[in-house]
Amino acid sequence: MASVARSFPRLASQTASRTSTLRTATTSNARRTFARQKFQSSSRRGYASGPSGGSSSTPYILGVLGLAGAGGAYFYFNNGGFTQLKEGSSGESRGIFTPTKDDYQKVYDAIAARLEEKDDYEDGSYGPIIVRLAWHCSGTYDKLTNTGGSNGATMRFAPEGDHGANAGLKAARDFLEPVKEKFPWITYSDLWTLAGVCAIQEMQGPVVPWRPGRTDRDVSMCTPDGRLPDGAKEQSHLRAIFGRMGFDDREIVALSGAHALGRCHTDRSGFDGPWTFSPTVVSNDYFRLLMGEKWAFRKWDGPKQYQDVTTKSLMMLPTDMALIKDKEFKKHVERYAKDDQVFFNEFRDVLVKLFELGVPFQSKPEDRMTLKPTSSD
């Protein structure tokens, strides 16, 4: 088997371009330019030559009329979370404010700006953990009871925020707080899923249609522990967990492609290491590595996991290896490994479905909007 280092040299030269820093800028505009260059240079598709170093369904409302920021604006949420009543700082009525696509684009841009500027998180980007927040707040849905899902943002509260599967996600929630403060009219539920869309797109992934309409709920709507996947299990567990949400085999494999991003931590899941050499890039590398590399059990004191034989720097979980052990899963792994555009198209569609599970939208699917990535500027 040819080594990963020899087989996938494209990103080796790209990795060397990740050295521009904000500190070299002499003006605020220059700092922003350098920040964007750094974020985008660390988010390029391809392989690197090696590792980088229910008691109530009432929406949760702080008050029928609550203070919304230092400017003296007041607001309330209707059933869909769309309409806000605002007043000026002098108390004059400004009527009803209904957010438009342009308003949501401003929220998107604010998230994207923070992703560019805040490069002090692991691998230089908060993007992967933002995607994990959006996925975990959505992946609690149960189609039989119609509970859980992104509608509610109940991870704000214990015990849900303290579930083992959500370990470390406080960093993502805290990262988004300044955006919430700047745009107090958006619900946490909409903010977290919109942030997931933003992170995917800013890390060179597909454009993901999205629509608002989620409401925030109180602690009584927290979901029970155990609704998210356990990486130590295998295919029957995957089908049970994702089947509860309404996903089929193809969709399970497509969603698993998010493992191209980020890494595991011994102080969170107990597992350790990244899945790919480019953990801040949305790509089909995860599937290519699953199919193209040899994997062996890692010899260590932690839980059962696999490592690549070639470099011993990448890892796969038992749930990952289940995708190539099971013939029905494997045929989709093979499709995605061969064609990144096929993966992007199906990954996009399954993300739309995931982020909308259980949400009682007043809008229609055709009302979904696509928000402009900064890379298209």
Measured distance CA(99)–CA(85) in Å, rounded: 11
3-state secondary structure of 290: helix
Amino acid in position 250: R
DSSP 8-state secondary structure symbol assigned to residue 323: H
Measured distance CA(302)–CA(325) in Å, rounded: 23
Q: Helix and strand tally (H, E) in the chain?
A: 13, 9
The active-site residue out of 135, 185, 210, 275 is 275
155, 228 contact by CB (below 8 A): no
The active-site residue out of 136, 163, 259, 332 is 136
Find where tokens 């996009």 sit.
Answer: 348
Measured distance CA(46)–CA(278) in Å, rounded: 8
The string of DSSP codes covering 253-295 is HHHHGGGGS-EE-TTTTS--EESSS-TTS-SSHHHHHHHHS-E
115, 126 contact by CB (below 8 A): yes
208, 352 contact by CB (below 8 A): yes
Verify whether residue 275 is a known catalytic residue.
yes
3-state secondary structure of 170: helix
Quote the distance between the C-alpha of residue 146 and its chain's center: 22
- With a CB cutoff of 8 Å and minimum separation 6, the contacts of 349 are 254
Catalytically active residues, by annotation:
136, 275
